[in-house]
Structure 1
Amino acid sequence: MTIEYSGKGDPARSLALLWRTSERASRKGKPDLSVDRIVRAAIEVADADGLQALSMRRVAERLGVGTMSLYTYVPGKPELLDVMLDTVYGETARPEDVPGGWRARLTLIARENWALYQRHPWLLQVAANRPVLGPNVTAKYDYELRAVDGIGLTDVEMDSVITLVTGFVHGTARGAVEAAQAESQTGLTDEQWWAAHAPFLSRIADTSRWPTASRVGQAAAEALGGAYSAEHAFEFGLERVLDGIDTLISRRAEPA
């Protein structure tokens, strides 16, 4: 999987694009091309074919314009990627009233992030250690922090809790996307793959040598409909992550 890095572009130009402080009009004075339209086309290319297919030429082809015309609005691919990230991060729902307290609020955040990766799997190809400092990323981070504000955590712990939840979602979403890609790349579902391998596995499997793996593996496969279920991993793992956060909050509430 090709990995791209956010924040590789010129800082001044990226921030100007993200906050739309210096967008130019088209040379003809017509609104036939804009940063927003270019970014939307780039997202469509990445959604369809992944980041490895993204280039200024491909975006221009999708828009039906010459490649050089894009540079009137976007300096290059690194800056374009930053704006793409900020744009899709603006898609997550952020209702103010979520019944059920902090746990329900974090559950909603986790599900919104999970859904975002399903819509835009190319996000998993971007290493965002250096965050995109755009309006949507900033608003998303602020909203997620407010989900755990005032529940007894320090500011650093609030940041760490959000990092924990979103990091967990990122990992499980990667498993889900890889599973889906395995089926599309091989032409076999998990059930078909196991059916093809079962006759050979039965000849070499030694349940007496690996009794625990045999017992647990069979039980999991029967319960999950295969060796791995991304949905189960997400639901089970999310509950355990929230249980851990609950323990931390409870300790904060205990008298010294």
Structure 2
Amino acid sequence: VMSKDGLVDLMLDAATAEVPVPAEPGPDWRADLRGIATESWAMAKRHLWFAQLVPTRPPLGPHMLRRTEFQLRVLVGRGAALGEAVAYAALLDRHVFGGAQQEAEEHAMRRRLGIDTPERLAAAVNAVRGVAEQGGHELLARWMEEPSGPDMDEQFTLSLTFLLDGIEARLPNREGR
């Protein structure tokens, strides 16, 4: 390795190699793209540094190129023009890696603030609840009494579904759902 950038490129590509990429698209384009996105999300969560570094380097490693080529084959196979397919693949990657970057930053923030256990987080939420109540934010304060809703992985899955629905609405060939 000749430089720090070269080392970062190798690290990013080695992590990307953990994402299984089928040899060919299957009959269900949504399942193909969901599989790549979900596996990429899982990889980025295993390597929180990945999401922080990936936007700093061109995606030119052989494993990233293979992954992107697969996404393009899926999308072009469903009727997207090549330029549209590149844009849709980029949107999917921004969703995956942007979400992972947010998770990495939130994890670092919780460590930095000492709220890195469920008990400490609950105590911090309880303290903020009083501020919300005093500020007239009754719905937020009520939610803070018993926080509920989808966790980060469930939010990822939900928003990925929204994104795939939007892509599907724009594809000329809507068969193979």
Give the TM-score normalised by structure 2: 0.79
CA contact (8 A) 1:175 1:230 kept: no
Query: Which is greater in Rg?
Result: 1
What pairs up with 1:5-154 in 2 under 5 angstroms? 74-96=1-23, 101-128=28-55, 131-154=58-81
2:84 to 157, 160, 165: 157
1:171 to 98, 102, 112: 98
Deviates more, 1:99-108 or 1:159-168: 99-108
Q: Give the whole-Å Cα distance in 2 for the aligned partners of 1:98 and 1:105.
A: 7
Between Structure 1 and Structure 2, how many residues are aligned? 173
Identity, in percent, stands at 28
Distance 1:80 1:223, change over 3 A: closer
1:205 to 115, 130, 133: 133
Distance 1:204 1:151, change over 3 A: closer
2:163 matched to 1:241?
yes
Pairwise CA distance, 1:197 = 4.8
The aligned amino acid for 1:102 is W
Q: Give the whole-Å Cα distance in 1 for the aligned partners of 2:99 and 2:160.
A: 10
The aligned amino acid for 1:234 is F
SS at match of 1:93: coil
Pairwise CA distance, 1:187 = 5.1
Pairwise CA distance, 1:165 = 0.7
Q: Counterpart in 2 of 1:222?
A: 148
Pairwise CA distance, 1:95 = 2.0
Pairwise CA distance, 1:148 = 1.5
CA contact (8 A) 1:172 1:233 kept: no
Q: Give the whole-Å Cα distance in 1 for the aligned partners of 2:145 and 2:26.
A: 36
Distance 1:105 1:203, change over 3 A: closer
The aligned amino acid for 1:244 is G
Q: Give the whole-Å Cα distance in 1 for the aligned partners of 2:132 and 2:56.
A: 44
Q: Give the whole-Å Cα distance in 1 for the aligned partners of 2:167 and 2:45.
A: 26
Pairwise CA distance, 1:142 = 1.2
Task: Give unmatched runs, 5+ long, in structure 1.
Answer: 1-73
Task: Give unmatched runs, 5+ long, in structure 2.
Answer: none
1:1-59 alpha-carbon deviations (Å, 9 max, x no partner): xxxxxxxxxxxxxxxxxxxxxxxxxxxxxxxxxxxxxxxxxxxxxxxxxxxxxxxxxxx
Return the structure number with greater relative CO, CA threshold 8 A, min gap 6: 2
SS at match of 1:221: coil
2:116 matched to 1:188?
yes
Higher helix share: 2
Distance 1:77 1:253, change over 3 A: closer
